[in-house]
Amino acid sequence: MWWWELFLWLDMRNMLLFIFAFLFVVYFLTKKDPPHFPPGPSALPLLGNVFSIESKQPHIYLTKLADVYGNVFCIRLGRHKTVFVSGWKMVKEALVTQANNFVDRPYSPMVTRIYSGNSAGLFFSNGKVWRRQRQFAMAMLRTFGLTKGSMEQSICDESRHLQEAMEKEEGEPFDPVPLLNNAVANIICQIVFGRRFDYGDHNFQSMLKNLTELAYLEGSIWALLYDAFPALMKRLPGPHNRIFSSSKSLEASIRGEIERHKLDLDPSNPRDYIDNFLLEEKHNRNSEVGFEEGNLVLCCLDLFLAGSETTSKTLQWGLIYLIKNPHIQEKVQAEIDRVIGQTRQPTMADKLNLPYTDAVIHEIQRMGNIVPLNGLRVAARDTVLGRHFIPKGTSVMPNLTSVLFDKTEWETPDTFNPSHFLDAEGRFVRRDAFLPFSAGKRACLGEGLARVELFLFFVGLFQKFRFSTLDGVELSTEGITGATRTPYPFQIYASSR
Ligand code: HEM
């Protein structure tokens, strides 16, 4: 080795040592937690717990961690800390009792890139924009949905389209997922776009494909990694890149609908959510509370993302649980036959007289556990939760799996058991720990609509068909976890009753 090579080698070695030491010092300086900060599994320098999170079933891993570290613990991804809150009592304390401390959503590099940094839609906005947009969306759901009873009629009509599509499959095994997705998405389409789509419509199908992909990826480990290491992930290939391409395609479809609305907008007769939003923007010019066109696109995107996959997947789990429990399916059908019969369609007025069916739908939601974690929150100020100190700006995840399967709240948490919602006389009973829609000021704004959809679609399907699967096939209840929990692909028979 020449002397200058030796010099270079020594220099390189020193440089590497210096970088290593520097990173270590940065790590220990930034790692320092304040007194009483929630405990958690030990983390690797700079990477955090990235390798310990079970990527297939993260909600189960995170629920079990509470047995080790208690109901308030911390997980680190890179330098980013997220406090997980577990169990009905502690989740209620965070979401309801201390609602104002945890009402906002945190900054997310992924969301900022999807939403191009300006507007934040419904799900990710905060402060006065969120308050006004949430209020506006709820008013629209009431106007075009629930109060006039028109939505009940639309759901019944859509239910008929769904049943007709299933009748065509008579005698053959088929995948029910595309049909359920079509039916449920068409309800949001009627509220937002003012029209339904034919199930064979090419644009509709491409929208649904992008929605499914986005709903999965936004809640997957890829999204967590993007938020923890944005500078690195931006440059790496991988499934996270599809988050941005799918959302761009969806935004383009929504923009197309908005342009069509502008052509024949009639101020005296707004037809749907888009018309009302455009009128609000035109007349009141209150863009400081989010009434501008960029935000309209994002609000529509959020209504589709939050309102179609969730309800469709609940119905998918409903088919799976009732095929796996044929005696429960028969009991539901006997109750429907007794109360409604076979000749007329169900209405919401039937619900009171169908306590067993109502209990089964609730148990499907509990076991289906559609949103296994929750929407992420952030501490708005320094807060004490339980015995732990949570500094302002810390991300907080109130874990819904830990509530829906809380051993101290449910008699048989891991078994499909409609009796969880029935008293000794067979009457329906509400349960406090039933939180599939979350709780508090930021709970699901579509809960009312979702409940009507679930009841009418579910009762309509089981009134009309007996569902089974291929002989010898055991349907899995494990599921694929993203932002929502999706059943593995499955095939069913629908035999007319
Ligand atoms: C079975 C069906 C559904 C389930 C299980 C469900 C569940 C949830 C959950 C857990 C959240 C997060 C709440 C939080 O952060 O605390 C949420 C938020 C939301 N949901 Fe739903 N949802 C369903 C259906 C719907 C429907 C039909 C719509 C729309 C019409 C909708 C619109 C929304 C919106 C816009 C948010 C964000 C609320 C906000 O940040 O203020 N959801 N939903």
Does residue 2 lie in a domain region? no
Q: Is residue 364 part of a domain?
A: yes
Residue 41 lies inside a defined structural domain of this protein: no
358-371 confidence digits (pLDDT tens): 999 999 999 999 99
Bridge partners of 422, per DSSP, are 428
For residue 25, tell me if it sits in a domain: no
Cα 220 to ligand 1 centroid, rounded to whole Å = 18
Res. 215 pLDDT band, cuts 50 70 90: confident
Dist. CA 442 → ligand 1 center (Å): 9
For all residues of the chain together, what is the average pLDDT? 89
Identify which of 306, 299, 308 has the alpha carbon closest to the alpha carbon of residue 204.
308
Q: What is the pLDDT of residue 79?
A: 74
169 assigned to some structural domain = yes
Q: Which of 47-61, 285-299, 416-430, 449-463 has the lowest mean pLDDT?
A: 47-61
Residue 367 within any structural domain of the chain: yes
Give 428-461 pLDDT, tens digit per residue: 999 999 999 999 999 999 999 999 999 999 999 9
Domain hosting residue 485, numbered range: 58-496
Mean pLDDT, rounded, for 90-113 = 93
CATH code (residue 420): 1.10.630.10
Which residue's CA lies nearest to atom 27 of ligand 1? 307
Q: What is the pLDDT of residue 260?
A: 95
Confidence of residue 11 (pLDDT cuts 50, 70, 90): low
Report residue 141 CA to chain centroid gap.
18
In a domain, 32, yes or no: no
DSSP letters spanning 394-428: -EEEE-SHHHHT-TTT-SSTTS--GGGGB-TTS-B
Look at the chain and report how many structural domains it folds into.
Answer: 1
Q: What is the pLDDT of residue 89?
A: 97
- Kindly report, residue by residue over 52-62, the tens digit of the pLDDT: 777 778 899 99
Residues 6+ positions from 151 with CB-CB distance below 8 Å:
144, 145, 187, 190, 191, 449, 452
Q: Is the CB of 450 under 6 A from ligand 1?
A: yes
Ligand 1 centroid to Cα of residue 92, in Å, is 17
Residue 391 domain-assigned? yes
Residues β-bridged to residue 468: 493
